[in-house]
Amino acid sequence: MVAAVLVLIGAGAFLIGPPPDNGPSTSAEALEASEAESIMVEDPVHERPFDVSVWEPTGENRRDELVVISHGFSADRTVHATLAQGLVAEGYTVAAPTHPDIAGLESGNPGLDPFVLRPRHLSLTIDAMSETTEFDSITLVGHSLGGYSALRMVGADPVVGDGFTDYCDNTTDALLCSGQIEERISAEGVGTDFSDPRVDRIVLLAPGYGPFFDSDALDVDVPVLVIGASDDSELPGDQVSALATRMPNDSQSETVNGGHYVFMRPCTDEEASSVGEICEDADGVDRAAVGEQVLELITDFADA
């Protein structure tokens, strides 16, 4: 998670944000610290490969179970490395792509808009991981925009309707209610089936764009775990808890202590000095401890 990446994620940019001149990159230091191997996966639509970090378990606890992690807008494949390492210790194989969100937005190509590109890249990641291993189950974990992507992967279709209008009438949300996202979702997302039947369950970490999904849209056929943050100022209007209440009755909902970025790995000293907002947690919030709690919630959910 280099400083450039963190700047892009800040100030609500994980939701929309103006596309900067240059997209984020992943530093060699971050990759080394992630303890992952790297593969490149071809995207026939984008006509350029994208990077995926892969963590493979070893030893007797290895399971034939895959977890794919989808990061928030403009982040990269290393930002959930601590979670990935914990999952690997439990025997899961983990894959985390870097979604080229910025390049997609800058292209002006509707097929490369993150709303469209991300589900395709998640399916392509599953394709690549399944070439050598037949997995017994596949869990998709998504943070922020990654949560939206995970919902699309199990058939949830956004609705730009009365529920969203009511949300904007009663909530101060300059990003979601600016009209830009509504136009993008209407143009690129509504009515398009991005579902992948290979996904057995999803975990949503502080999922973004919740007001676009009504109860009918959320009537999905796979188990869902929603984990919100207790002090998530990036997602106003209690939209995460509201989303959880619209999920099917057999879905699960939990809340951890912290803000929107508490689900990301702890920052290095260099990162913390460069961009405070992403790296700083409120008094009494231990990001490492929250990470352990999230890991336990996910493994218990996957094992159920």
Structural element, H or E, at residue 192: none
Predicted pLDDT at 188 = 66
User: Which pLDDT value is given to residue 184?
Assistant: 81
Element (H, E) at 219: none
- Each residue of 172-201: b (16+ CB within 10 Å) or e? ebebbbeeebbebbeebbeeeebbbeebbb
Task: For residue range 97-138, list pLDDT tens digits in order.
Answer: 999 888 888 887 878 889 999 999 999 999 999 999 999 999
CA distance 2 to 21: 16
The residue ranges of every structural domain in the chain are 25-303
pLDDT < 50 regions, the chain = 1-24
CA distance 209 to 180: 13
Global pTM reads 0.89
3-state helix, strand, coil in the chain (%, to 5): 40, 15, 45
Q: Give the domain 25-303 fold.
A: Rossmann fold (3.40.50)
